[in-house]
A and B are shown apart, each in its own frame.
Chain A
Amino acid sequence: MDLLEHLDSRRHVWQFKEDCPPRDDIEEILWKAWKVTPSKQNFMPYQITILGPEAKEEKIALWNLARANKKHVNESHSAIPWEEDGDNDNYLYLKTAPYSIIFSQRVCKPNPFIERCIRDLNDHYEQMHESGLNAMMRTTAVEIGMFAANMVTFALEKGIQVNYNACFPSKIEKWSTLPIIKYNPLLIGGMGYCEVPRRNPNSEPELRDDLKPELSEMLKWI
């Protein structure tokens, strides 16, 4: 199977199966993604927290963070009076995923090469300082995107699907229910075997309408 065919089998999952993928498989997926994902100056300035099958309370807390965010966004943006509880089929996977994923920023330590650059060239690296995390946010987000894409590639080899979602409070101050996260969260997700994919024969028609733009809309040849 070539890469195109392989990645085309990715699905966004509404509900994961109760069968839990072996922990060894998850560790192997993460190891392979770590091995092949590049990083500026090899800092990898992010932390990946995996909530395992037993971390049920933490998963509910994560689901509630996504719901609270949706409730806030919809109620504060709507031009007509609007109240809701923040429920969304797209977040249900946060409760059913055997493994949930949280990417957040982290303060890094230098490798020997970087230590030499600091010593000999007086270089400064924002990744090493709490005060530099905001300045590093975009680079970190691009790199998390790379890691996340590689996780999908290697998970699919084992028949495991990976979901991602960026709907949650972005400030760490709002994450008091999950104190294991120390710095700003950037991306969340879940992993497991697919029970119900988002695009399925029972999907409501409007959910089939979020089609991609044509490539020509995004590409400019110079």
Chain B
Amino acid sequence: MSSMTEIFKKRRQIRAAWDQKKLPTKELIYDLLKQTMDITPSKQNLFPYKIHAFGPNNPKEKHAVGQICTLYKTGSVNHWDDENKDGDFKSAAGELNIKDWVLDDEGNDMRIAPWVLVLEQRLAEPNNFVKEYSDLHQDWSRFSQTDEKRFRGNCNTKLTCFEAGMFVQTLAGLCLENNLGISYIRSFPEWQWKGDHYTQDNNKHGANWDALPEITEGPIVICQIGYVADIDDYFASNSVDPSDIHWENKPNIDTIVKFKD
């Protein structure tokens, strides 16, 4: 197996196994982000997204992200909301209490990743190429990534989503190469641009992005990064064992790939 395959095959979605004692430094996270940016492509090199990095010193903000991502009353895989019921929850394995599954030997909550990155849309600054092209056409709205009136529209949001997906997947490779775990979340209230303002729904518990005033444009994707504790992650999805209650197998490759010869 190639070295690249070996790197990426190591990735697992971490839900309650973040090491709470061994924490990646800010310098390491910055270095990984810098390297990722150096090798991730972007249309016209404009990078129409921004990254908010919440680290070990931001427990309040990271808790807020957890609450925002509890989208449904049932189906919240990490059971973030069960603190409202003293930790009790129902599962396919019977009545359980969250504290029995997510606390380390010092009582720290292993669901909270040391680093939480929120990628949100941004209005990009035009580079020289964009300035010259716009000048030629006398059209300063040609590039939606740099146009104040259009950057929140559907077309540019879709583009931002592709590029953010490419960015986080490259970041994942670099994290895995450095023995860090990385998880992704996209279960949160979506923002919709209505021409002059955003709307967003509250989730089923009344939480929304207003809890994080730093986020001022539509969130695209969330990443969690940290070292992975050497324990069984009870809430991990298992794509190998069909008898596991958390088995969520992928569709077969022939379901998604079609050759036209």
8 A Cβ contacts from B140-170 to A = 141-142, 154-155, 157-159, 161-170
Of B16-24, B41-49, B97-105, B228-236, which stretch is located at the interface? B41-49
Q: A117-B75, A154-B5, A222-B54 are in contact. Are A112 and B162 (CB under 8 A)?
A: no
Q: Is the CB of A221 within 8 A of B251?
A: no
Residues of B near A42 (CB, < 8 A) are 237, 239, 248-251
Interface size class of A (residues with CB under 8 A): 35 or more
Min CB gap B233→A, angstroms = 15
Interface string of B126-148 (1 = CB under 8 A from A): 01111011000111011000000
Q: Is the CB of A209 within 8 A of B38?
A: no
Residues of B near A50 (CB, < 8 A) are 257-260
Q: Is A172 an interface residue (CB 8 A)?
A: no
Of B6-14, B80-88, B202-210, which stretch is located at the interface? B6-14
Residue of A nearest to B147 (CB): A77
8 A Cβ contacts from A6-31 to B = 6-8, 10, 12, 30-31
Q: Is the CB of A77 within 8 A of B142?
A: yes
Min CB gap B151→A, angstroms = 14
Residues of B near A2 (CB, < 8 A) are 177
Chain A residues close to B by CB (< 8 Å):
1-4, 6-8, 10, 12, 30-32, 34-44, 46-52, 54-55, 58, 73-74, 77-80, 82, 106, 108-109, 111-114, 116-117, 120-121, 123, 137-139, 141-150, 153-154, 157, 164, 166, 170, 180, 186-187, 206-207, 209-213, 215, 217-222
Give me 5 other A-B pairs in contact (C-beta within 8 A), A47-B258, A123-B75 excluded.
Answer: A31-B253, A50-B259, A111-B251, A209-B132, A221-B55
Cβ contacts A to B, 9 pairs, < 8 Å: A10-B39, A10-B41, A34-B257, A42-B250, A49-B258, A123-B72, A138-B190, A210-B45, A222-B54
